[in-house]
Chain A
Amino acid sequence: EVQLVETGGGLIHPGGSLRLSCAASGFTVSNNYMSWVRQAPGKGLEWVSVIYSGGRTYYADSVKGRFSISRDSSNNTLYLQMNSLRAEDTAVYYCATSPNDGNWGQGTLVTVSS
């Protein structure tokens, strides 16, 4: 059974950094397309970043230069390094596989506030 579990969210001051983790089971992260999607309180879904099996990465303009997606084969985990955080980054962050497979984690809440 495929499972995705996000951790690492919390309260952080503006300008701070946070690293989110997405531990996967039931499939191999490095062999798959993986993405991060966020949802601000009361708002719609916003795509954040994607990493393809071959290693190509892409980012939404709103996070380009501040966020970095990566993966670790040894522990089958996807990461999102978030730097220079802003109030508008406050959201629930989800990791997900390709829509062709359709697996999502439960989400982790990041709150950026002074």
Chain B
Amino acid sequence: DIQMTQSPSTLSASVGDRVTITCRASQTIGSWLAWYQQKPGKAPKVLIYKASSLKSGVPLRFSGSGSGTEFTLTISSLQPDDFASYYCQRYNGDSETFGQGTKLEIK
């Protein structure tokens, strides 16, 4: 099975910072990667699909890039609402593994 390794597991940052989260696949997955945001007690929300496509309604400060085995989620200028957990997921295959998650905390 393809493994997804996400880093860092915790990230401390301030409002206005630019932050990047990385996700690495153990084998090439093309562009079949999604990024999610999750807040406590809520279902995850898709931010990015197909590695770099922004889901309708998601703020433009979120962006995704990469293909093959290396992917990144970037938040250009952190807002108070962005402090949450983030997950990558490989999909459209025979195992649709999530990364371990990144908890974005206020510094």
Q: Which residues of A contact B (CB under 8 A)?
A: 33, 35, 37, 44-47, 50, 58, 60-61, 94, 98-100, 102, 104-107
Contact = CB atoms under 8 A, between A and B. Distances in A.
Given A100-B50, A102-B55, A45 B98 contact: yes
Contacts, number: 54
Interface stretch (B17-25, B37-45, B72-80): B37-45
Contacts of B71: none
A90 B99 CA distance: 20
Given A45-B36, A46-B98, A60-B95, A102 B45 contact: yes
A47 to B, nearest CB: 4
Given A45-B87, A94-B43, A104-B43, A99 B34 contact: yes
- Select the residue from A44, A58, A98, A106 with max chain B CB neighbours within 10 A: A44
- Select the residue from A37, A60, A61 with max chain B CB neighbours within 10 A: A37
B98 A47 contact: yes
A45 B42 CA distance: 12
A100 B34 CA distance: 8
A100 B46 CA distance: 9
A45 B55 CA distance: 20
